Amino acid sequence: MFYTWMESPVGRLLLAADETGLRKLLFGGKPESGWREDPAALAEPVRQLRAYFAGELRDFDLPLAPAGTPFQLRVWRELRNIPYGQTISYGELARRIGSPNGSRAVGLANGANPISIVVPCHRVIGSNGKLTGYGGGLENKERLLALERVSNNRI
């Protein structure tokens, strides 16, 4: 596994990938044992993230290889279908994956998302419209949503 760090408007990000694709994008964190630092191997994800933070990129085009259960993978795939600048509730996400009573399970899967930002778990909010849990902190969730709102208004 290769890794690199990236400074961003939401803090230091750790990116990790292997030959199959991006496996992790974490707020802070530490490289795991056996990982090798290789910024060149992650140049494209870093380029796309910089474009996203500059308001110039809405859809990431990267090979992704998150590790998770079949249920988690279903949730993470559906997260990628939430349009840029929009939000949905955990209940709506559960309905979209065919598990209408599974909003808690969806919330747990959302919280376990290993590729934040690219797999936009920040676009999922409470049914009352309030921001709820986010691995990168609620302040960063609001920053990401605000970035997308501002960018939507410019385009």
Q: Give the Å distances, CA to CA, from 108 to 31, 75, 99, 104, 105.
A: 23, 10, 14, 6, 5
Note the residue count of the chain.
Answer: 155
Residue with tokens 């959302």: 110
Amino acid identity of 61? D
Catalytic residue positions, numbered:
121
- Separation CA 91–CA 12 (nearest Å): 31
Nearest CA to 99 out of 79, 77, 74, 127 is that of 74
Give the burial class of 42: count Cβ atoms within 10 A of its Cβ; 0-12 exposed, 13-18 middle, 19 or more buried: buried
